Structure 1
Amino acid sequence: MNDAWTVATSRHVPTFSAVVLAAGLSSRMQGQHKLLLPVGGQPAIRRTVSAIAGAQPEEIVVVTGFRGRAVMDALDGMRVTFQSNPRYEEGQMTSVAAGVAALGAPCDVVMVCLADQVLLDAADYREVIDAFAAMPRGSILVPFFRGQRGNPVAFSASYAAEVISGHVNPGCRKLIDEHPDDVIAHEATHDRFTIDMDTPEDYARILARLGVSAAVASGLGGPGQAVPT
């Protein structure tokens, strides 16, 4: 890392880069790859990355692993950097470390995003960055809704080396307990930060929330189709 990683304290609104975790096995999705399932007219991973891109990050790194080529194909034409994680089966933290290590653009904040949080939109990601900028103290922000921890987690880019080495794990459930002076909980006004898509039941609930039936969704999925608002 170099001086580009130094937090620019003079800026009111920090710049940020996003690491998107898209390497998992989808082991609870009964044989389907959750990130390739159609949601709102396009693969889930493309919907998520489009929302993140709408928040105007400096850079987006997508960490791939299981069925990495299919994930890359689903994002064809998008301005992202792909980083393969050959150790993805060892756990999510290996993907976080790989993604953060692959960042190249200067930024103040790193946001670690889950690829299956398909209900989040660009304004939600901006909300996290705005909340980070407004923190009275601390260097790590974790969203919550009614006591339930959510994602994405945002942390000062000055932590990058420690995250890469594994000394700080922004995805750890004990993060707040282990770093009470560094972590701020952001209480959200909606539950979208706490919803991901691990099981067929999760998928069905998300489609219902979007007003799309599973039968209709199964006929969609082209990466060029628009996302309904």
Structure 2
Amino acid sequence: MSDTDAWKAAAPREAPVFSAVVLAAGLSSRMPGQHKLLLPLDTQPAVRRTVSALVGAGPAEIVVVTGHQGRAVMEALDGLPVAFRSNPRYEEGQMTSVAAGVAALTAPCNMVMVCLADQVLLDAADYRELIDAFAAMPRGSILVPFFNGQRGNPVVFSASYAAEVVSGHVNPGCRKLIAEHADEVFIHEATHDRFTTDMDTPDDYARIQARLSDARMSTPLIPHG
């Protein structure tokens, strides 16, 4: 067994220290006339809601990859403890943003989480669920969440894969990931749909607004005094 293979085998048993890459560079082409990441949700831009939840999960580092309307996305995240990496090739596809973000990571970690900026229903506990699942998984170096047979995000992978992700030899967002790396992929069966819910279209936005409104209505008020 090589040193690299030994590191991969040991990684899930190490204390879970993770860094995160947030993909926020896309064209938002299915949300006509608007940038989905800047749409308001509970009085804040969607991208800020996503990244704030991720901050609450305690990563060693967060790199937000920007592209389309990058300056506006950066302004929406003003004050949050994140680093930014501009991807001038964002129109060539998501993998260019994944590679750019992973290449920009500098803090020591043993796992990397690749997050979608439009998964606005995820909270800090959801992100921790995946990190804890990765740390406890009996095999593999890549974790992919599923719900009711549907593949979700974020994907978590061993930091030992970073160079292969940057070079494009491993694409954690690829639909063929499980087939091409069957021995390395562990499927995490979730009990909720938040890992499989994103916000691409006006209908998605309306449904998410309704869910957030329902959640507020069902939260009991705590009396003061």
**TM-score after normalising by structure 2:** 0.90
* Structure 1 counterpart of 2:30: 28
CA offsets per residue over residues 154-195 of structure 1, 9 Å max, x none?
A: 000000000000000000001001100000110000000000
Deviation at 1:9, TM superposition (A): 4.2
Equivalent-residue separation in structure 1 for 2:114 and 2:212 (angstroms)? 24
Aligned letter for 1:77?
G
Aligned letter for 1:106?
P
Distance 1:120 1:10, change over 3 A: closer
Aligned letter for 1:175?
L
Equivalent-residue separation in structure 2 for 1:190 and 1:60 (angstroms)? 25
Deviation at 1:201, TM superposition (A): 0.3
The answer as to whether partners of 2:37 and 2:46 remain within 8 angstroms in 1 is yes
The answer as to whether partners of 2:66 and 2:86 remain within 8 angstroms in 1 is yes
The answer as to whether partners of 2:155 and 2:172 remain within 8 angstroms in 1 is yes
Which residues in structure 2 correspond to 1:30-179 (within 5 Å)?
30-179=32-181
Equivalent-residue separation in structure 1 for 2:128 and 2:162 (angstroms)? 21
Equivalent-residue separation in structure 1 for 2:144 and 2:95 (angstroms)? 16
Deviation at 1:11, TM superposition (A): 5.5
The answer as to whether partners of 1:85 and 1:94 remain within 8 angstroms in 2 is yes
Equivalent-residue separation in structure 1 for 2:170 and 2:158 (angstroms)? 12
1:138 counterpart SS class? coil
Equivalent-residue separation in structure 2 for 1:13 and 1:188 (angstroms)? 22
Equivalent-residue separation in structure 2 for 1:118 and 1:52 (angstroms)? 10
> Runs of 4+ in structure 1 displaced over 4 angstroms?
6-12
Counterpart selection for 1:194 from 176, 179, 196? 196
* Structure 2 counterpart of 1:219: none
The answer as to whether partners of 2:147 and 2:193 remain within 8 angstroms in 1 is yes
Deviation at 1:10, TM superposition (A): 8.8
Which ranges of structure 2 fall in alignment gaps of 5 or more residues? Answer: 215-225
Q: Which moved more, 1:182-191 or 1:9-18?
A: 9-18
Q: Which of the pair is proportionally richer in helix?
A: 2
Cα root mean square deviation, aligned: 1.5
CA offsets per residue over residues 14-43 of structure 1, 9 Å max, x none?
A: 100000000000000011000000012200
Deviation at 1:45, TM superposition (A): 0.4
1:211 counterpart SS class? helix
Distance 1:36 1:10, change over 3 A: closer
* Structure 2 counterpart of 1:224: none
Deviation at 1:13, TM superposition (A): 3.3
Equivalent-residue separation in structure 2 for 1:26 and 1:10 (angstroms)? 35
Counterpart selection for 1:203 from 193, 202, 205? 205
* Structure 2 counterpart of 1:221: none
The answer as to whether partners of 2:112 and 2:158 remain within 8 angstroms in 1 is yes
2:127 counterpart SS class? helix
RCO comparison, higher one (Cα < 8 Å, 6+): 1
The answer as to whether partners of 1:140 and 1:183 remain within 8 angstroms in 2 is yes
Equivalent-residue separation in structure 2 for 1:18 and 1:60 (angstroms)? 5
